[in-house]
């Protein structure tokens, strides 16, 4: 996992905060089996993603930066 990527759900559990040191170009949220459950095209270094449709589980967030480099992080939706 990249040190320049921070991912965490906010207390309500319906939004996911993504903070990066570089511009993000694309976000994928996957279940632990690797199935893509959300595929989002958003840009910026501070992004909120609606995760209200996801069930309580552990997920992998894959971020693709504008320079095509990728980083992954894990979060738990409660």
Reply yes or no on whether the pLDDT at 1 is more than 60: no
CB-CB contact of 57 with 77 (8 Å): yes
* Domains held by the chain: number: 1
pLDDT of residue 3: 52
* CATH classification of the domain holding 41: 2.60.40.1220
The model's pLDDT over 16-74, given as tens digits with 9 standing for 90+, comes to: 999 999 999 999 999 999 999 999 998 999 999 999 999 999 999 999 998 889 999 99
More confident residue, 1 or 64: 64
* Domain, as residue range, for 46: 5-77
pLDDT of residue 60: 96
């Amino acid at each position: 996992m990249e040190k320049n990527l921070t991912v965490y759900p906010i207390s309500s559990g319906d939004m996911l905060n993504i903070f990066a040191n570089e511009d993000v170009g694309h976000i994928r949220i996957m279940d632990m089996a690797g199935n893509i459950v959300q595929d989002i095209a958003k840009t910026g270094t501070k992004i909120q993603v609606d995760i209200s449709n996801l069930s309580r589980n552990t997920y992998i967030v894959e971020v693709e930066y504008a320079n095509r480099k990728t980083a992954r992080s894990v979060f738990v939706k409660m």
